[in-house]
């Protein structure tokens, strides 16, 4: 289709604007991460787009090395929050995927009606804030405050509906004949699930797990409410990077933000490949 | 090597009755085709034989043993699915070896069987390929091989050829028949393609709307359809049927076909059966292949509406209120609009009761 030059111009202008809006903060963060203190500090009179004297000091700083410019010392380094984020996000994803997949399979194959599947999603009907106060009380009662496992548990619960609905859709679309073919050969139901269904569903499983992982990894609110000191996650830790002397430590925040953005970006690209490819069941040609 | 008996088999899905009632005996080593249009209950019947669905009523007996409650894995059936249901995460070899492995066969026995079946179905070159990337024709053979490898006593095939191209379908028809001759299983074959049923089956069970219409050898079903449905469904094109009334003439019983004129007198046995049946309103039937066209003389009067060339033969469409089709040689001397006289071959005429649709048969 041939479009008019005016339309093409408008189209590219719109795309450029959208990209500027979305990419500018990222560019700013990347640039900031490599700037020495005078270039990012609130007192600095010379803010620049591109670092004039690029440095890795901000990265060294968050990992606890002393740096020449920044005289403040950190109470805690970024190692522990990174560990906390990894543990809570990975185990939260595991909980959500194992329970969600099992529930989705059961309801897809043996369930009837829509009420049960819909009931599982009602956790998402409210903003997380609405349920967080009771959750805080429960977690305090169970001694789960400020633990990575407490965080992993709530992450698993919060993202379970996502895992469930994604997997249920995939299971619904999977041709049952593949399972029946194995059942006819005398395979047990459970073995069919483990040896046939799950391997056939590798791609959907991977993409759902990655999506859930990114949700958990990006959480700020829940971690802010349920952790205090030992097991704060990257986003919570990042927010705490400030001092009375220097104010907000923008350079350190940017460096940490850049590091924290790496897993979701990589995983996001991986998901995209799976999602674009979609569900290609080679056996099903109709 | 098993006899399958279906007794008063019924299947309901909620309010919908997929199978009203079905009595059928499939003999040991027989190739039985379940033939019918989509939604006739043939696949439901098959799924119940395999154990994928529980009957709502009635019994399924294998060699006299009631299969009710026996899980599908314990019935000893092989099943080939319409969409093949290949385990796409496995290689061709792993797919073939799956059944023997589940039955705990030894490594050497599995290898021997895989080699044999792969040779037989020409799968040897792709044994170690991932099955997800194979062509439909190969997936098809693999699906058959995966079921055949354990030599099940009962082999069930659910429209296995409906997704492959015409040329390959012709090849597979021969191979399936060959396969069955070699292993001598009892074979049940679901299809909506009468050509598949006619060419392969020992007997055909024609079904419609959840009711078994007729069971018989391909020629029985073709020559002596039990009712109007079978008459129209079997044959390509199906049997010509013209509504008429029985009429006594001085040359014997004939059928008054309205605008077509009076039919030639019926053969004695058919006439006697028609008189005995008592009904006057009938459908007068004859196969498109079993009538000749003339420009004049005694026969059914009609006008040519269309001349359809299909290659080896020509189908002449003619009409006199109702349409009929006549299959003739290619050098047909009629054009659209010509008056034509249709003469059904002696012995080709079939009568059906207009009310009950059942065939009226001579002795």
Say which CATH number the domain at B53 has.
Answer: 3.40.50.300
d(CA A153, CA A162): 15
Residues forming beta bridges with residue B60, ordered by sequence position: B6
B253 and B307 in a single domain? The answer is yes
Instruction: Give the whole-angstrom CA distance, residue A147 versus residue A165.
Output: 28
Q: Are residues B219 and B244 in the same domain?
A: no
What is the domain-level CATH number for residue B343? Answer: 2.40.50.140
Instruction: Kindly state the average pLDDT of the residues B334-355.
Output: 90
Q: How does A115-130 read in b/e, with b if 16+ C-beta sit within 10 Å?
A: eebeebeeeeeeeeee
Same-domain check for residues B213 and B258: no
Residue B71: its chain A contacts at CB < 8 A? 183
What is the predicted ipTM?
0.74
Split at pLDDT 50, 70, 90, the class of A203 is confident
Selection from B292, B172, B310, B295 nearest residue B237 by Cα: B310
CB contact under 8 Å between A200 and B88, yes or no, is yes
- Tell whether B262 lies on the interface with A, counting CB pairs under 8 A: no
**Looking at the domain assignment, is residue B324 inside a domain?**
yes
Q: Is residue B99 part of a domain?
A: no
- Please provide the average confidence, as pLDDT, over all residues in chain A: 84
Query: Which of B166, B194, B223 finishes a domain?
Result: B223
Query: Which H or E element spans position B303?
Result: strand B300-309
Average pLDDT of the segment spanning A274-286: 46
Q: Which residues contact A212 (CB under 8 A, 6 or more apart)?
A: A92, A93, A96, A97, A159, A162, A163
**Coil, strand or helix: which one is B154?**
strand
How many angstroms from the chain centroid is the CA of residue B287? 17
Residue B152, domain extent: 4-86+134-223
> Higher confidence at residue B292 or residue A286?
B292
CA-CA distance, B235 to B215, in Å (whole number)?
Answer: 16
Is residue B349 domain-resident? yes
Contact B81/A180, CB-based, under 8 Å? yes
User: Which chain A residues in 158-177 lie under 8 Å from chain B, judged by CB atoms?
Assistant: 175, 177
Among chain A residues, the shortest Cα distance to B157 is held by A181
Which residue in B23, B3, B10 sits closest to B64, CA to CA?
B3
Do B245 and B314 fall within a single domain?
Answer: yes
Query: Residue B187: what are its φ and ψ, rounded to 5°?
Result: -120, 130
**Chain A touched by B150 (CB under 8 Å):** yes
Residue A106 sits at the vertex; the CA angle it makes with B68 and A197, to the nearest 5 degrees, is: 90
- Shortest Cα distance from A283 to chain B (angstroms)? 5
Looking at the fold, whether B212 and B267 belong to one and the same domain comes out as no
State whether A284 and B99 contact (CB < 8 Å): no
Angle between helices A202-217 and A79-110 (to 10 degrees): 140
B163 plus B308 within the same structural domain: no
The confidence score (pLDDT) of residue A45 equals: 62
Residue A284 banded pLDDT, cuts 50, 70, 90? very low
Q: Dump pLDDT digits (tens) for B10-37.
A: 999 988 999 998 999 999 989 999 999 9
Which of residues B198, B223, B248 is at a domain's end? B223
Q: Nearest CA of chain B to the CA of A107: how many Å? A: 18
Within a domain: B125: no
B205 and B238 together in one domain: no
Instruction: With CB atoms and an 8 Å threshold, state whether B103 touches A180.
Output: no
Instruction: Average the pLDDT over A8-12 and give the result.
Output: 93
Give the pLDDT of residue B314. Answer: 92
Cα–Cα dist A115/B59, whole Å:
35
Contact call for B146 and A180, based on CB within 8 A: no
Q: Is residue B116 part of a domain?
A: no
Write the CA distances from A69 to A36, A39, A65, A272, integer angstroms: 8, 11, 12, 41
Whether B102 sits inside 8 A of A184 (CB atoms) is no
Q: Going by DSSP bridges, is the β-strand pair B211-216/B65-66 parallel, antiparallel, or unpaired?
A: unpaired
d(CA A211, CA A166): 10
- Co-location of B159 and B211 in the same domain: yes
Please tell me the predicted confidence (pLDDT) of residue B213.
95
Q: Would an 8 Å CB–CB cutoff place B74 in contact with chain A?
A: yes
- pLDDT averaged over chain B? 90
Q: State the total domains in chain B.
A: 2
pLDDT per position as a tens digit, A148-191:
999 999 999 989 998 998 899 889 888 888 898 898 888 888 99
Between positions 193 and 212 of A, the ones with CB within 8 A of B are 196, 199-200, 202
Is residue B326 located within the same domain as residue B219? Answer: no
**Res. A202: pLDDT tops 90:** no
Going from the C-alpha of A32 to that of each of A45, A93, A219, B362, the distances in angstroms are 15, 31, 23, 99
Cis peptide before B237 (omega within 30 of 0): yes
Per-residue pLDDT, A126: 75
In the structure, what pLDDT confidence band is assigned to residue A281 with cuts at 50, 70 and 90?
very low
- Same domain, yes or no, for B285 and B182? no
- Is the pLDDT score of A147 beyond 50? yes
- Domain closes at, from B223, B257, B282: B223
Classify residue B119: in a domain, yes or no: no
- Taking CA A75 as the corner, what is the angle to CA A70 and CA A80, rounded to the nearest 5 degrees? 110
B133 contacts on A by Cβ (under 8 Å): 282
Cα distances (Å, whole numbers) of residue B160 to A55, B79, B84, B92: 67, 10, 7, 18
Q: Which residue carries 């006199």 as its tokens? A: B320
Residue of chain A minimizing CA distance to B75: A184
What is the mean predicted confidence (pLDDT) over B142-167? Answer: 89
Asked whether residue B123 is assigned to any structural domain, the reply reads no
Residue B111 resides in a domain: no
B204 with B60, same domain: the answer is yes
Which residues on A lie below 8 Å from B73 (Cβ)?
183-188
Q: Are residues B155 and B286 in the same domain?
A: no
CB-based burial of residue B229 (10 Å sphere; 0-12 exposed, 13-18 middle, 19+ buried)?
buried
pTM of the complete model? 0.76
Query: Cβ of A70: how many Cβ atoms within 10 Å?
Result: 21
């Amino acid at each position: 289709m041939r479009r008019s030059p005016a339309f093409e111009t408008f189209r590219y202008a719109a795309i450029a604007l959208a990209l500027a809006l979305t990419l500018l903060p990222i560019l700013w963060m990347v640039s900031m991460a490599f700037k020495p203190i005078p270039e990012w500090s609130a007192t600095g009179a010379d803010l620049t787009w591109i670092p004039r004297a690029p440095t890795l000091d901000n990265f060294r700083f968050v990992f606890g090395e002393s740096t020449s410019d920044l005289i403040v010392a950190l109470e805690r380094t970024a190692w522990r929050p990174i560990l906390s984020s990894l543990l809570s996000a990975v185990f939260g994803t595991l909980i959500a995927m194992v329970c969600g997949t099992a529930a989705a399979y059961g309801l897809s194959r043996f369930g009837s009606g829509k009420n049960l599947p819909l009931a599982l999603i009602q956790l998402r009907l409210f903003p997380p804030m609405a349920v967080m106060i009771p959750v805080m009380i429960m977690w305090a009662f169970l001694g789960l405050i400020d633990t990575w496992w407490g965080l992993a548990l709530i992450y698993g619960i919060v993202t379970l509906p996502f895992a469930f609905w994604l997997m249920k859709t995939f299971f619904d679309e999977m041709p049952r004949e593949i399972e029946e073919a194995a059942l006819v050969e005398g395979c047990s139901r459970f073995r069919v699930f483990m040896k046939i269904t799950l391997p056939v569903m590798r791609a959907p499983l991977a993409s759902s797990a990655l999506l859930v992982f990114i949700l958990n990894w990006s959480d700020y609110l829940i971690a802010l409410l349920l952790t205090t000191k030992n097991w704060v996650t990257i986003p919570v830790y990042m927010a705490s990077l400030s001092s009375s002397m220097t104010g907000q430590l923008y350079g350190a925040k940017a460096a940490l933000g850049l590091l924290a953005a790496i897993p979701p970006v990589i995983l996001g690209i991986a998901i995209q490949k799976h999602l674009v490819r979609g569900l290609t069941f080679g056996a099903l040609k109709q | 090597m098993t006899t399958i008996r279906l007794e008063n088999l019924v299947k309901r899905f909620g309010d919908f009755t997929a199978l009203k009632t079905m009595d059928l005996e499939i003999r040991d080593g027989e190739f039985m085709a379940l033939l019918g249009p989509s939604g006739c209950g043939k696949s439901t019947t098959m799924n119940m034989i395999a154990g994928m669905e529980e009957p709502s009523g009635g019994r399924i007996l294998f060699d006299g043993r009631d299969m009710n409650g026996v899980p599908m894995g314990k019935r000893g059936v092989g099943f080939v699915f319409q969409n093949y249901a290949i385990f796409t995460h496995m290689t061709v070899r792993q797919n073939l070896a799956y059944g023997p492995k589940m039955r705990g066969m030894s490594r050497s026995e599995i290898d021997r069987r895989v080699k044999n079946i792969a040779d037989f179905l020409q799968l040897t070159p792709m044994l170690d390929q991932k099955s997800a990337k194979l062509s439909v024709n190969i997936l098809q053979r693999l699906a058959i091989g995966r079921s055949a490898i354990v030599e099940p006593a009962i082999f069930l095939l659910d429209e296995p050829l409906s997704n492959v191209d015409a040329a390959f379908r012709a090849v597979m028809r021969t191979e399936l028949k060959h396969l069955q001759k070699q292993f001598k299983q009892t074979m049940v074959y679901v299809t909506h393609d009468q050509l598949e049923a006619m060419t392969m089956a020992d007997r055909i069970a024609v079904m419609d709307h959840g009711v078994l219409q007729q069971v018989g050898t391909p020629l029985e079903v073709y020559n002596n359809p039990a009712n109007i449905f079978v008459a129209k469904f079997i044959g390509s094109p199906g049997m010509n049927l013209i509504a008429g009334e029985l009429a006594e003439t001085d040359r014997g019983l004939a059928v008054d076909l309205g605008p077509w004129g009076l039919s030639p007198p019926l053969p004695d046995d058919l006439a006697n059966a028609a008189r005995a049946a008592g009904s006057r309103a009938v459908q007068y039937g004859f196969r498109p292949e079993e009538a000749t066209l003339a420009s004049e003389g005694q026969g059914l009067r009609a006008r040519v509406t269309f001349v359809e060339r299909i290659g080896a033969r020509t189908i002449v469409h003619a009409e006199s209120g109702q349409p009929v089709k006549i299959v003739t040689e290619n050098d047909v001397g009629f054009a659209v609009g010509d008056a034509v006289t249709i003469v059904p071959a002696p012995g080709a005429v079939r009568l059906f009761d207009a009310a009950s649709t059942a065939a009226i048969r001579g002795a």
